[in-house]
Amino acid sequence: MRQPRIFSPEPLATGREVRLDTGAARHLTQVLRLRPGDDFILFDGSGRDYEARLLSGGREQAAAAVGAVIRREPPAPLEIHLALGISRGERMDLALQKAVELGVASITPLFTRRTVVRLQGKRLEARLAHWRGVIRHACEQSGRSRLPGLHPARPLGEWLAGFQGEGILLGHRAHTPLPALDHPGRSITLLVGPEGGLADDERDLARRQGLRAVSLGPRILRTETAPLAAIAVIQALWGDFGQGPPGSD
| CA–CA–CA angle 169, 173, 178 (5° rounding) | 50
Which numeric CATH code is attached to 79-238?
Answer: 3.40.1280.10
pLDDT (mean) for 7-27: 91
Q: Is the dihedral of CA 100, 78, 238, 110 positive or negative?
A: positive
DSSP string, 116-130: -----HHHHHHHHHH
3-state secondary structure of 39: strand
Q: Where are the beta strands (DSSP E) in 73-197?
A: 79-85, 106-111, 149-150, 154-155, 167-170, 187-192
Q: What letters, b where the CB count within 10 A reaches 16 and e where it falls short, cover 137-162?
A: ebbbeebbbbbbebeebbebbebbee
pLDDT category at 248 given cuts 50, 70, 90 is very low
Q: Please tell me if the domain spanning 5-72 has the same topology as the one spanning 79-238.
A: no
What percent of the chain is modeled with pLDDT above 70? 97
Calculate mean pLDDT across residues 33-41.
92
pLDDT of residue 249: 47
Q: What is the mean pLDDT of residues 96-115?
A: 95
Q: 151 to each of 19, 63, 128, 131, 178, how far by Cα in Å?
A: 26, 30, 9, 11, 25
* pLDDT per position as a tens digit, 108-148: 999 999 887 777 888 889 999 999 999 999 999 999 999 99
- pTM (whole model) above 0.85: yes
How does pLDDT run across 164-198, given as a tens digit for each residue? 888 999 988 889 999 999 999 999 999 999 988 89
Domain boundaries, the chain: 5-72, 79-238
pLDDT for position 112: 93
- pLDDT for 38 beyond 60: yes
Q: What percent of the chain has pLDDT over 90?
A: 71
Neighbours of 174 (CB within 10 A): 17
CA R_g for the chain:
20
Mean pLDDT, rounded, for 190-218: 93
β-strand partners of 42: 6, 50
Q: pLDDT band for position 74 (50/70/90)? A: very high
Per-residue pLDDT at 31 exceeds 80: yes
Task: Indicate the pLDDT class of residue 244, thresholds 50, 70 and 90.
Answer: low
CB 228 within 8 A of CB 96: no
| Fold category of 5-72 in CATH | Ribosomal Protein L25; Chain P (2.40.240)
- Higher pLDDT: 247 or 140? It is 140
Q: How far apart are CA 83 and CA 160, in angstroms?
A: 10
Asked if residue 53 lies in contact with residue 39, where contact means CB atoms within 8 angstroms, the answer is yes
